[in-house]
Structure 1
Amino acid sequence: MSEGLGVFDAQLRLVSWNRKFQDFIGLGDVALQAGTPHETLFTHALTPKDTSLSRILARVRTTIEAASNGESHSINCELPDGRAIRFSAAPLLGGGVAAVYSNITEQNQRETDLARRVHERTAALQLSENRLNIIANEVSAGIAHVDKNMQFSYVNTRFARAYGLRPEDFIGKPCSAILAPETLGKSNHFFEQTRRGAAVDFAMTVRLPDGRDKEIRTFLRPEQPSRGEVIGFFLLSIDMTRQKAANAALLQSQKMDALGRLSSGISHDFNNLLTVILGNLTPLADRLDQPDLNEEFLAPAIAAARRGSDLTRRLLSLARKQPIDPQPVTTDDILDGLVKLLRPTIPETIEISAQSATDLPLVFVDLAQLEMALFNLAVNARDAIGASGTIELRQDVVFLSPTEAEPDRLASGHFLRLQVIDSGEGMTEDSRERIFEPFYTSKDDGAGYGLGLSMVYMFVKQSNGAIRVESKRGFGSTFTILIPAVDASDLPEADTGESPGTQLLSAQERPVTLLVDDDADVRRVLRRQLVDEGYPVIEAANAQDALDLLQHMSEIRLLISDIAMPGGMSGLDLACEVLKGPSRVGILLMTGQATPPDQSCLGVKLPILRKPFDPALLQQAIKQVLKISGEDT
Structure 2
Amino acid sequence: MQPDPSPSLTASGLNLIAQGMTIFDHNLRLAVCNAPFQQMFDLPDALVTPGATFRETITHLAMRGEYGPIDDIDAFVQERVDQARNFEPHYMERTRANGRTISVEGSPLPQGGWVTVYTDISHTKAQEALLRARASELSEQVLEHTEALSATNRQLAATVTALEEAKRQLTQTEARTRLTTEMMPAHIAHVDRDGRYIFSNRKLNTVMPGRPADILGMSIADVLGDFAYGRIAPALTRAYQGEASVAEFTDNASARRIRGAFTPDGTGGVYILSMDITEETQARVALQQTRRRTLAAQMTSGLAHDFSNLLTIILGLQSKLARLPDLPDEAGGLIEGTLSATRRGGELLNAIADMTAGRAMRPAATEIATLLGDVQTLARSTLPADLTLKVAPCHFDGQFLLDPGMVKDSLLNLILNARDACGVQGQITLTASAVHDTWLEFTVTDSGPGFSPDALEHGCDPFFTTKGSEGSGLGLPMVYDMTKRAGGDLKLGNGDTGARVRLRLPLRPAPRISGALVLLVEDEPELRQHYRDMLTGLGNAVIEAAGVDEAIALTADLPDIRLVLSDVNLGSGSRTGVDLAQQLAGTLPVILMTSLAPSDPLYQMASQTAPVLRKPFLARDLTALLQTEAAA
Q: TM-score range by the shorter chain?
A: 0.3 to 0.5
Q: What TM-score comes out, normalization by structure 1 length?
A: 0.45
- Please say which structure displays the higher CA radius of gyration: 1
